[in-house]
């Protein structure tokens, strides 16, 4: 049974893929950007699902890695005329290294202590940004428009600083025939698909089983030969790198990077997104991101203060009722369905056997 293709599942995936590709062609600019934002949040939440859901290291500090990705992208593209692709790769590498470094103390600091240390990282990040105000723009932040005296200034003068974004910024190449927002959406989608598939493969590999084993029982995992220290630090690095990819998306999407976007609130939102959908699953983060952005859009502008009240209550109820998140509920139902199927099959078999015995007896 399990080897055969699950047609229902395949159908759902194909339907989603078609919807994801067609959507920007039929939706307006603001809706396309909303979808891009969902992709950004899903990717960031995936980073958290990997480290918290699969590896069991609770991080309340991933907003800092997202912020790092966004800031590096902004500074490189604006001040040093680095291309978006190169800036993305550099920020990915930098976040990976910083993630490894932060992951080292995480070997000795575990559980709630780790949550606290990462919480400190999240609170410290905006302060570091303020301290480095010369290049980051301080508490006001910076738009992705170059300042005087930076980068290839002559070229920028030629193009015009204010027009930098629309001429040299992140825009659709002519051959695509797409509007900038559509192009951005497709680029995000392609990156996200790659990241999600890579993480999915990682979690199903030998390494992935090692990560889950560490989460479930560190001592048992160690006895079974899982290199705990190596895996834990590596997970931190990979997860930070994924978060920085999301940060790249943030910078490209918003064209504006300021410390208020990367406070502790973002770190909490990411954890909530991962857990809400189901932290030990790959599509959980997507569900979480859709719910979070959907809720924000659904609440009228004048009564935003109710958002987190609803959210907090929903979170508490969810954790108390279904700790596995939305995906957890689905898996439980699937399990029960399969259980029922198995019981039914066994009963039918038994009935057939008895009928056969009866005929033999006659």
Instruction: Enter the DSSP assignment of 146.
Output: P
* Helix (H), strand (E) counts: the chain: 16, 2
Query: Judged by CB under 8 A, which stretch of 93-101, 128-136, 282-290, 337-345 contacts other proteins?
Result: 128-136
3-class DSSP assignment, residue 142: strand
Taking the CA atoms of residue 84, residue 86, residue 91 and residue 97 in that order, the dihedral angle to the nearest 10 degrees is: 170
Contacts of 17 by beta carbon, 8 Å cutoff, 6+ apart: none
Q: 138-167: which residues touch other proteins (CB under 8 A)?
A: none
| Residue 226-265 contact track with other proteins, rule CB under 8 A, x = bound | --------------------------------------x-
The residue within the footprint of other proteins, chosen from 279, 289, 292, 326 (CB under 8 A), is 279
Rounded to whole angstroms, what are the CA distances from 130 to 65, 255, 274, 321?
Answer: 16, 19, 29, 41
The residue within the footprint of other proteins, chosen from 190, 224, 319, 345 (CB under 8 A), is 319
The residue within the footprint of other proteins, chosen from 112, 298, 358, 360 (CB under 8 A), is 112
Should residue 23 be labelled a site residue for other proteins when binding is judged by CB under 8 A?
no
Tell me if 44 sits within 8 A of 244, measured CB to CB: no
In the complex, least distance from residue 303 CB atom to other proteins, rounded to whole angstroms: 9
Should residue 33 be labelled a site residue for other proteins when binding is judged by CB under 8 A?
no
CA atoms of 20 and 25, how far apart (whole Å): 10
Which CB atom, from 93 or from 111, has the smaller least distance to other proteins? Answer: 111
Tell me if 144 sits within 8 A of 74, measured CB to CB: yes
Should residue 313 be labelled a site residue for other proteins when binding is judged by CB under 8 A?
yes
Should residue 219 be labelled a site residue for other proteins when binding is judged by CB under 8 A?
yes
CA atoms of 286 and 289, how far apart (whole Å): 5
The residue within the footprint of other proteins, chosen from 32, 44, 272, 282 (CB under 8 A), is 272
In the complex, least distance from residue 226 CB atom to other proteins, rounded to whole angstroms: 14
Nearest CA to 103 out of 247, 231, 266, 279 is that of 231
In the complex, least distance from residue 320 CB atom to other proteins, rounded to whole angstroms: 5
Size of the site for other proteins (CB under 8 A): 46
Residue with tokens 């659709």: 172
Should residue 306 be labelled a site residue for other proteins when binding is judged by CB under 8 A?
yes
Should residue 90 be labelled a site residue for other proteins when binding is judged by CB under 8 A?
no
Strand segments (E) across the chain: 142-143, 256-257
Should residue 224 be labelled a site residue for other proteins when binding is judged by CB under 8 A?
no
Should residue 266 be labelled a site residue for other proteins when binding is judged by CB under 8 A?
no
Should residue 64 be labelled a site residue for other proteins when binding is judged by CB under 8 A?
no
Should residue 93 be labelled a site residue for other proteins when binding is judged by CB under 8 A?
no
Instruction: Enter the DSSP assignment of 201.
Output: H
Nearest CA to 292 out of 38, 53, 40 is that of 38
In the complex, least distance from residue 215 CB atom to other proteins, rounded to whole angstroms: 10
In the complex, least distance from residue 205 CB atom to other proteins, rounded to whole angstroms: 23
Q: What residues does 257 pair with on adjacent strands?
A: 142
Write a three-state SS string for 270-299: HHHHHHHHCCCCCCHHHHHHHHHHHHHHHC
- Please measure the distance between the N-terminal and C-terminal CA atoms of the chain and give it in whole angstroms: 35
The residue within the footprint of other proteins, chosen from 257, 266, 311, 326 (CB under 8 A), is 311
Residues that bind other proteins (CB under 8 A): 52, 56, 58, 60, 105, 108-109, 111-113, 115-117, 119-120, 123-124, 127-128, 130-131, 133, 217, 219-220, 223, 264, 268, 271-272, 275, 279, 305-309, 311-316, 319-320, 323
């Amino acid at each position: 049974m399990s080897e055969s293709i699950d047609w229902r599942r395949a159908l759902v995936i194909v339907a989603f893929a078609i919807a994801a590709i067609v959507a920007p062609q039929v939706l307006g600019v603001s809706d396309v950007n909303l979808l891009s934002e969902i992709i950004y949040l899903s990717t960031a939440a995936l980073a958290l699902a990997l480290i918290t859901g699969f590896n069991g290291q609770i991080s309340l500090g991933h907003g800092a890695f997202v912020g790092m990705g966004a800031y590096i992208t902004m500074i490189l593209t604006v001040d040093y005329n680095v291309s978006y692709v190169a800036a993305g790769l550099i920020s990915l590498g930098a976040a990976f290294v910083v993630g490894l470094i932060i992951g080292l103390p995480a070997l000795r600091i575990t559980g709630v202590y780790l949550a606290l240390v990462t919480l400190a990282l999240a609170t410290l990040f905006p302060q570091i940004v303020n301290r480095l105000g010369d290049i980051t723009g301080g508490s006001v932040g910076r738009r992705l428009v170059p300042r005087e005296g930076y980068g290839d200034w002559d070229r920028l003068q030629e193009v015009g600083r204010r027009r930098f974004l629309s001429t040299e910024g992140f825009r659709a190449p002519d051959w695509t025939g797409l509007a900038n927002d559509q192009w951005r959406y497709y680029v995000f989608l392609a990156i996200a698909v790659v990241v999600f598939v890579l993480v999915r493969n990682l979690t199903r590999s030998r390494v992935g089983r090692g990560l889950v084993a560490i989460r479930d029982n560190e001592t048992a995992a160690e006895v079974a030969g899982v290199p705990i220290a190596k895996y834990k630090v590596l997970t931190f690095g990979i997860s930070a790198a994924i978060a920085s990819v999301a940060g790249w998306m943030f910078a490209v999407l918003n064209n504006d990077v300021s410390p208020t976007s990367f406070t502790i609130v973002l770190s909490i939102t990411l954890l909530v997104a991962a857990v809400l959908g189901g932290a030990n699953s790959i599509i959980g983060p997507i569900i979480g991101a859709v719910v979070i952005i959907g809720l924000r859009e659904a609440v009228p502008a004048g009564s935003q203060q109710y958002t987190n009240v609803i959210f907090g209550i929903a979170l508490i109820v969810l954790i108390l009722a279904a700790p596995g998140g939305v995906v957890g509920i689905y898996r439980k139902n699937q399990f029960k369905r399969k259980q029922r199927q198995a019981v039914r099959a066994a009963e039918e078999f038994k009935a057939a056997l008895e009928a056969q015995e009866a005929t033999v007896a006659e």
